[in-house]
Amino acid sequence: MGRQQKKSAQKFQATFTLIFFGHSRAIHLYRAGMPLALLSEWLGHAQLETTMIYAYADTKMKRDAIQKATGNNNPLRSNEQIPYWKGDDQIIRKLYGLK
């Protein structure tokens, strides 16, 4: 490999590494709650769409957003039913034949 080619390859690798680690850090910040618009500005992107290419919501982010929006009325948990005997000592005693 010629000297010029080697220099170009090293420069490319250094640039790629900086961009990769910058974007990796950006995704961690996004998942920690940094607004996408602020993140885009922090990365120096001219358009928000550029940031949106790799800033996607993972399952935990989606679950947290649903929990935050619905609180105790979470539709994902609407099928969960509390057993009728739960917390009722009288019924529990009857079920065990103690009364």
What is the pLDDT, as a whole number, of residue 68? 80
Q: What is the mean pLDDT of residues 50-73?
A: 77
How far apart CA 51 and CA 41 sit, in angstroms, is 9
pLDDT tens by residue, 27-54: 888 888 888 899 888 888 899 888 887 7
- For the whole prediction, is pTM greater than 0.85? no
Give the amino acid at 34: M
Domain ranges of the chain: 3-95
| Euclidean distance between CA atoms 39 and 49, whole angstroms | 12
Q: What is the mean pLDDT of residues 6-18?
A: 62
